Every structure is written in C-alpha cells, then in structure tokens.
Amino acid sequence: MAKPKITVLFYSTYGTNHTVASAAAEAAEAAGAEVRLRRVKETAPTEIVEGQDAWKAQLEKMQDIPEVSADDMEWADGYFLSSPTRYGVVASQMRAFIDTLGPLWQEGKLANKTFTASTSANTSHGGQETTLQSLYITAMHWGCILVPPGYADPVKFEDNGNPYGFSMQAGEFTDLHRRSVGYQARRLVEMTQKLVA
C-alpha cells in the first residue's frame, strides 16, 4: 500500500507555528505518511525582522528547514498548513506563497488533495476561526477535500474545542496541544490514505 504524501507547510514569526508544524509532521510520519516539512519564505523587510531579537532568532532557528516550492505542493497527496492569525486572516507571508500557486491551480494540480489547517494568535479571540475559514476557502478554490478535526476525538473537548482546526494562544505548547495536533495530523493521514489506496 502506497504511503500518503503530506506536505506540512508553516509560517512562524516567533516560533508557535513552527512548533505546531513540527508536531504535525512527527505525528503524520508516525501514522505512516511520507512527510515534507516546509516553511514559507519570510517576506517582511530585513530591517524589520532584524529590529526584533525574537523574530530574528526564530528565522535563524529555521534555516535548516527548506523553503516551500510549488513542487512540494504538486508532490503531496495532502496538506497540513499552520500560520499565525493577522487581523483575523492568515499571515501575509503565507498568503504571498499561496498567491504564487495560480499556475498549478489552473492545471488542476492542487485538486483532489486533502487539506487541514491550524493557527495561533496573541489572544484567545483574535480571529483564529476566521483565519482557518479563510484557509479552507482557498482550499475549496483549489478543489481540495477538507479534513477539519471536528469533534471526532475526545481531545477536542479537552483543548479549546475548535472544530475547524487546532488553534492556540501564542506561547507554551503543552502536552494537550501536542495530542490535539497529533490527532488532527493522524486524521489527515487516515483520510488521505483512503484516497490514495
């Protein structure tokens, strides 16, 4: 049986979504997927990034993770995206990459793949659900098959209960968070396996 191929794609300013994506990649591999962990290119001006020690340190910390390419999107059978919330929608860095995918979309090379998403914000009500919904709207344009976590596992009643996708207030990544992300990644792999079998 072929292993489902999953691209775990993230953008992270201060580290939260890097941590989430790494946990998702680990869980997807443990569930039997072939995984590519990829980061979105930083598009903020260098002087802005270097003017904030935490931002600069996080960018340096991720240098061993390849930047995502269109090939990583075409290669995959499914996607796990993780991005911060910015003003109630996805961070502009993630959006900038998404906006380069028009040629693949026009050729139908993003269609019929599974898609799930996660996010974080500095506050508990900072637009996390609208960010996830905006990502899912993009996935619908691509022709993807949405795989939100729903309430199909008891962990969703223990974490913040967001049925659209894992979300958290930026900060400490707890064992409960890891279990919730792990469930969402496993669900993605299981649904993708059914499609590629």
- How high is the mean pLDDT of the chain? 96
Which residue in 140, 151, 77 sits closest to 114, CA to CA? 77
- Per-residue pLDDT of 132-160, as tens digits, reads 999 999 999 999 999 999 999 999 999 88
- Per-residue pLDDT of 91-135, as tens digits, reads 999 999 999 999 999 999 999 999 999 999 999 888 999 999 999
Return all residues near 187 (Cβ < 8 A) that are at least 6 apart.
116, 147, 149, 152, 153
| pLDDT value for 143 | 98
Query: Scanning the structure block, which residue is given the tokens 């039997």?
Result: 32
Helices 16-30, 175-196: inter-axial angle, 10-degree rounding: 50
Percentage of the chain surpassing pLDDT 90?
Answer: 94
| pLDDT value for 52 | 95
- Per-residue pLDDT of 36-74, as tens digits, reads 999 999 999 999 999 999 999 999 999 999 999 999 999
Residue 1 predicted with pLDDT over 80: no
- Per-residue pLDDT of 40-50, as tens digits, reads 999 999 999 99
**Burial letters for 19-31: b for 16+ Cβ neighbours within 10 Å, e otherwise?**
bbbbbbbbbbbeb
| pLDDT value for 160 | 83
Name the superfamily (CATH) of residues 5-196.
Flavodoxin domain (3.40.50.360)
Q: Where are the domains of the chain?
A: 5-196
CB 115 within 8 A of CB 167: no
Q: State the pLDDT confidence band at 193, using cuts at 50, 70 and 90.
A: very high
